Amino acid sequence: MASEKPILYSYFRSSCSWRVRIALALKGISYDQVPVNLIKDGGQQFSAEFKALNPMQQVPALQIDGITLSQSLAIINYLEETHPNPRLLPQDAKKRAQVRMIADHIASGIQPLQNLSVLKQMGEKKMEWAQNCITSGFQALEQILQHTAGRYCVGDEVSMADLCLVPQVANAERFKVDMRPYPTITRINKALLELEAFKISHPSRQPDTPLELRA
């Protein structure tokens, strides 16, 4: 039935899943969560069952309104169109373009380069590789944000750009990236982490979060 609760296939530490969890929280959409452990059993995303759900074998996937969607930004755009309040894309065309630019910068230009599947190929160099990818991306992002930011990434309203920023900063911290050269990114991240939607969607507070990593 299309009226059933949405089901999010997610992994606590997946930054792409976290983006969607923030959007669902901000829009007040209640959902059920099915954890997909990307490490255990050689990666549960490779099971035949999950491949049938998302042929790309990645999280997140969201079953909603009788369809299954993958790709975090496509999911967030669908939620934006079907649940327009609070809006995550500004009404002003220029600001909306800036939000999409920043979201794409992170979702296409940084995160995929340090994704689990890439790091597996890098062997012993994975930490160095991840640091380099994030550092070069953050150098550009810091410069962009100096022109677009207010309290948040674009002006003073939370947008899709912010949903991408916070999980990427968490990845940077996990890979021990020195954040001192990025004061704008750091300031925005801190402000966003004070918001309830970002707290409840945090990796330390998910049903599949290991006990030692729980908040």
pTM reported for the whole predicted model: 0.94
Q: What letters, b where the CB count within 10 A reaches 16 and e where it falls short, cover 146-163? A: eebbeebbbbebbbbbbb
- Local structure of 133: helix, strand or coil: helix
Task: Examine the pLDDT at 155 and tell me if it is beyond 90.
Answer: yes
Top-confidence residue, 48 or 140: 140
Q: Are residues 127 and 180 in the same domain?
A: yes
What is the model's pLDDT at position 44? 85
pLDDT, average across residues 156-168: 98
- 203 is a domain residue: no
Q: Are residues 113 and 147 located together in one domain of the fold? A: yes
Q: How far apart are CA 153 and CA 155, in angstroms?
A: 6
Task: Show which of 59, 86, 113 is a domain's final residue.
Answer: 86
Identify the pLDDT of residue 3.
60
Rounded CA separation 207/133 (Å):
30
Residue 214 lies in a domain: no
Give the count of domains, the chain: 2
**Same domain assignment for residues 79 and 100:** no
The pLDDT of residue 99: 98
Give the domain CATH number at 56: 3.40.30.10
163 and 147 fall within a common domain: yes
Computed over every residue of the chain, the mean pLDDT equals: 94
Domain holding 118: CATH number?
Answer: 1.20.1050.10
Q: Is pLDDT at 19 greater than 80 in this prediction?
A: yes
When comparing pLDDT for 184 and 35, which is higher?
184
Is pLDDT of 91 > 60? yes
In this predicted structure, what is the pLDDT of residue 136? 97
30, 52, 86 - which closes a domain? 86
Q: Is position 183 within any domain?
A: yes
Q: Residue 171's domain spans which residues?
A: 93-198
User: In the predicted model, what is the mean pLDDT of residues 2-10?
Assistant: 86
The secondary structure element, H or E, covering residue 191 is: helix 183-192
Residue with tokens 């609760």: 5
Over 80: is that where the pLDDT of 2 sits?
A: no
Kindly report the length of the chain: 215
Q: Please, which pLDDT band fits residue 48 given cuts at 50, 70 and 90?
A: confident
Same domain as 182, residue 97: yes
Structure confidence at residue 131 (pLDDT):
96
Q: How confident is the model at residue 133 (pLDDT cuts 50, 70, 90)?
A: very high
